[in-house]
Structures are given as structure tokens and as C-alpha cells.
Amino acid sequence: MYSVLLSALFAGIVAILVTVAIEKWGGIIGGILGTLPTTIVPATIGMYIEGGSEDLATSMSLIPFWMLLNALFVASWVVIPRMKEGVTLAQMTFVSLAFWSLLALLMTISLTQALNIFSESMIGIVGLVALLGLGIWMTWIPQKAPKGKNSVTKKVLLMRGLAAATAIGIAVQLSSMGQPIIAGLASVFPAIFLTTMVALWMAQGSDVPTGAAGPMMLGGSSVAVYSLIAPWALPVNGIILGTLICWFGAVITTSIPAYSYLRWRQSSISQIGK
């Protein structure tokens, strides 16, 4: 129970900080910072403590596909407003969550079957490659990623933290109940992505959240890499050292290159426009 509560509390705090980062530094920096491996840290530790190494391996192997699911969720916040001019925040929230739920159901069924055929590591690598491909495609032509001009209210930030804390708490609890596949899905429920989009849309208008969408999609690959390292790092090196290996490994191999890539694309487009 303590691991569930601590995981949920940490996730809630991180969720609040992400919105502030995007608001203060703009979509590129804020989007990358917002998708650093954060909420997955307490979720992974909690799953390992409650479910053991086997359940951890199963849950983590599917995280890349769950992050791909979240990337598609974020993409809907860019695509749908382009398809339907004047779409409201309420409509956008409903449509994006319905889209996520349908894909989550289809992915859960498909991946459950895939685990009977392919190895966990192979499934994880395929998910990571697909996630990277989508992120690069969505950010090849950069969108405006302005800083926020207005402050997100404390009430909205608190709601965002509570949503993320609830999702992670449920994930760890499910893992302790022997439901590793559903736990993995719950651990990446788009609480952070959804509340980021809603909070920033309410405070800044649609430009700030949609500008951060592409960087968040690409930056999310760091979470996928973290999940692929965790099943080895935690059992072999212990929770503290294993977590550090996962975090620095993910940031060095994905977050930093993603930031460099986004700056390069932005610079290239700017030079073409001159």
C-alpha cells in the first residue's frame, strides 16, 4: 500500500511541473522536459515491488506500444482542429479520449495475442521503432511552439496532479493483483498528456498545446527506452542503481538527441523561409 501511495504522490507532483515547463519555456523545451522518464519511475518501482520481475518484464515490454498509443492521442489534438475549424475544447477532449479508448481496446487484444507468439523484448523494440517513426514524421515540419502568455491556474494544476496520481496509483495496485498487461496500460493512461492539453488550451488558447504536441510525441520515446532497460536493470542492480541506469540511459539515448533534432529542424525551416 505504501508503494502505491508514494508512486501516486510522486506522479502527481511531476504532472504539475510539466505544465509549468511548457508554459514557461515553450513547446520544444517544455515538450521534451515534460516527457522525460518521470511518472514511469514510481510506476516501475511499484510494479517491481508488488508484482516481481516477471510481471515487471511483461508490463514494461508493452510500454513502447502504450506510448505509441499516447502519441496518437496527442496527434489527434493537432489533426482534428485542422480538419474541423472552430472545434471546442469540450469536443476535442471527448473525441480524443474516445479515440484513445478504442485504440487501447484494439491494442490490448492484439498485444495479448502477440505475447503468445513473440518474445517480450521483440515486442518492445517493435513498439519503440514505430513510436520513433511517428514522432519524427510528426515533427519533420515544425509547428509554432510559443511560450504561454497567461498562467495556468492553481486549481487546474492541482486537478492535473490528481489525475496523474490516480492513474499511477491504479497501475501499481493492478500490478500487485497480478494484472501486468492492464497495469502497463494504466501506467501510461494519458492523464499527463490530456491535462497538459486541456490546462494550456484553457489558459493560452490552442497554439501553445498544439505546438508542444510534436515534441511531446517524440520525447515520449525516452519512456519507451526506460521501459526496455528496466526489466534487466532493476533485478540485476537493485532499485536505486537500476533506476538511475534506466533514467540516464533513456535521457542520453533519446531525450538529448530528440531535443537536438527538433532544434535542427526548426533551424532548417527558418533558414528556408528567409
Q: Which segment of 35-39, 61-65, 162-166 scores lowest on mean pLDDT? A: 162-166
Looking at residue 245, its pLDDT comes to: 96
- CA 265 to each of CA 53, 60, 108, 243, 260: distance values in angstroms, whole numbers, following the listed order: 40, 31, 34, 32, 9
State the DSSP code for 238.
-
Q: What is the grid cell recorded at 80?
A: 482534428
230/232 Cα distance (integer angstroms): 5
What's the mean pLDDT when you consider all of the chain? 78
pLDDT per residue over 11-39, tens digit each? 677 767 766 766 666 656 766 777 788 77
Q: What is the grid cell recorded at 176?
A: 500487485
State the DSSP code for 87.
-
pLDDT(195) > 80: no
Residue of 254 and 165 predicted with greater confidence: 254
- What percentage of the chain carries pLDDT values higher than 70? 69
Burial of 101 from C-beta contacts in 10 A (0-12 / 13-18 / 19+): exposed
pLDDT(248) > 90: yes
pLDDT per residue over 83-119, tens digit each? 877 788 888 889 988 998 888 888 888 988 998 898 8
pLDDT(127) > 90: yes
Tell me the H-state helices in 35-148.
Answer: 40-83, 89-114, 120-139
Looking at residue 193, its pLDDT comes to: 75
